[in-house]
């Protein structure tokens, strides 16, 4: 097996031991060219991704990142593995989860926020979860995943109506979709799992290459962009399945998508209250109007930009502590505006690049540009918050008991940034012993 195959084995202990072996065989990373880059928003196999937590850490470490974060949809099942994997290779770790919430009862009720498929539904990110609070998060997410799987099964049935008209065999949720996930270990099952089962069906039926492209256009009546068409004509394309998945996500999902109910997409008030109660940092996930999607799975569409001026004070009032956004996804004017609004409403800025396809690279050099260097600092503040509050929640960045609480937010973040950067990444549990709060 190659390195990624070793790190993507089904057994978590084997993945971690393989990472230890790879790290030692590399001479403890002496050939790695380290950068100041960080990425707080990597998905793993516990939602949908080509990477286990160990494999995600390996990819981040190999790319020279100083820190990496796990942000799975509706799951924290991969968090501890990512924390342990980061200790092995000596980079910073941060963990959280992403979920959809309903904005009923807010001033933006009924609007399209940051969800391409739904109005009144907004993605939010729960960052910086203290490690001892991960079981509480798993309990919070369990009923959400139960409701989601009821809808998943309905969406598979919807898909089968279409497949029968095309002479394709029906998919079975338990046989064809569930095994693509890590649901047996607390992972979530998403629309991407359903579409990946369809990918397998299409490749089995048509093979790879021109015949599949023709089937997509002539039988499924999908618009296949020239760039994606060239990818799919290449039978040796190592990212073939993920490229096809991206196309289906952007052009086909609406044919089978069933709107989630508000048991699955809980109230934003409830989700934010829970996040603050466990000492995590709830962040609104800014998307902004989309012209081109880096992952190829989002079509051009308008989102929050027309009503940001009423949205930002609302999320502050709800109890959000931060806004998270992805610098490569937006234009510079969009990014400057969101930065200005975060400063106005004293909201922490958290960055990340949504990794869920093998075609994506882990490097994010934009974060080294002068307009965004503060985002790397914020990552280290987030890491310090997480490591300190994992031992004692009074040291959380937003805890009223932390020694820096009286400082303005940016000064407080600066103190936590220094603590995070000075931490031993191989032994992050020592942070409270080595950091002097009088600094």
pLDDT in tens, 157-168: 999 999 888 888
What pTM was estimated for this model as a whole?
Answer: 0.94
Between CA 256 and CA 351 the distance in angstroms is: 32
What is the per-residue pLDDT for 299? 60
What is the per-residue pLDDT for 296? 47
Between CA 192 and CA 253 the distance in angstroms is: 9
* Beta carbons of 345 and 310 less than 8 angstroms apart: no
Q: Is the pLDDT of residue 292 over 90?
A: no
Between CA 78 and CA 7 the distance in angstroms is: 13
What is the per-residue pLDDT for 294? 46
pLDDT in tens, 77-98: 999 999 999 999 999 999 999 9
* Beta carbons of 203 and 242 less than 8 angstroms apart: no
pLDDT in tens, 314-363: 999 999 999 999 998 899 999 999 999 999 999 999 998 889 999 999 98
Mean pLDDT along residues 118-122 = 95
Mean pLDDT along residues 136-159 = 98
Nearest to 123 by CA among 177, 175, 187, 47: 47
Per-position b or e across 46-64, b if 16+ CB within 10 A of its CB: bbbbbbbbbbbbbbbbbbb
What is the per-residue pLDDT for 436? 87
Domain 3-142+263-434: what homologous superfamily? Metal-dependent hydrolases (3.20.20.140)
Mean pLDDT along residues 371-394 = 95
Place of tokens 């109660």: 277
């Amino acid at each position: 097996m190659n390195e990624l195959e070793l790190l993507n084995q089904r057994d978590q202990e084997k993945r971690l031991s393989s990472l230890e072996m790879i790290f030692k065989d590399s001479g403890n990373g002496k050939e790695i060219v380290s950068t100041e880059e960080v990425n707080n928003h990597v998905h793993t196999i516990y939602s949908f991704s080509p990477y286990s937590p160990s494999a995600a850490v390996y990819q981040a470490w190999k790319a020279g990142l100083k820190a990496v974060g796990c942000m799975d949809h509706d799951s924290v099942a991969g968090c501890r593995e990512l924390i342990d994997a980061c200790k092995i290779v000596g980079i910073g770790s941060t963990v959280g989860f992403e979920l959809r919430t309903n904005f009923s009862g807010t001033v933006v009720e009924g609007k399209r926020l940051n969800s391409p498929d739904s109005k009144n539904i907004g993605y939010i990110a729960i960052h910086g979860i203290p490690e001892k609070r991960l079981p509480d998060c798993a309990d919070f997410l369990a009923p959400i995943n139960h409701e989601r799987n009821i809808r998943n099964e309905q969406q598979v049935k919807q898909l089968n109506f279409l497949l029968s008209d095309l002479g394709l065999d029906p998919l079975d949720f338990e046989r064809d979709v569930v095994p693509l996930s890590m649901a047996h270990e607390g992972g979530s099952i998403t629309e991407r799992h359903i579409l990946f089962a369809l990918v397998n069906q299409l490749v089995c039926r048509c093979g790879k290459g021109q015949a599949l492209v023709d089937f997509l256009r002539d039988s499924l009546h999908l618009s296949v962009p020239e760039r994606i068409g060239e990818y799919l004509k290449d039978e040796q394309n190592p990212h073939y399945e993920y490229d096809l998945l991206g196309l289906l996500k952007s052009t086909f999902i609406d044919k089978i998508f069933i709107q989630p109910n508000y048991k699955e997409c809980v109230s934003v008030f409830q989700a934010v209250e829970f996040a603050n109660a466990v000492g995590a940092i709830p962040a609104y996930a800014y998307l902004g109007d989309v012209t081109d999607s880096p992952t190829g799975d989002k079509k051009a569409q308008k989102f929050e930009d027309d009503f940001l001026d009423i949205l930002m004070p609302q999320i502050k009032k709800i109890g959000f502590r931060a806004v998270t956004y992805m610098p490569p996804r937006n234009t510079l004017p969009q990014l400057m505006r969101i930065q200005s609004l975060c400063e106005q409403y004293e909201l922490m800025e958290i960055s990340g690049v949504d990794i869920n396809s093998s075609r994506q690279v882990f490097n994010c050099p934009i974060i080294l540009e002068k307009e965004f260097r503060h985002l790397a600092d914020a990552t280290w503040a987030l890491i310090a918050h997480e490591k300190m509050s994992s031992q004692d929640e009074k040291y959380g960045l937003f805890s009223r008991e932390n020694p820096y609480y009286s400082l303005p937010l940016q000064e407080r973040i600066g103190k936590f940034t220094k603590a995070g950067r000075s931490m031993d990444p191989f032994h992050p549990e020592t942070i409270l012993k080595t950091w002097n709060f009088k600094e």
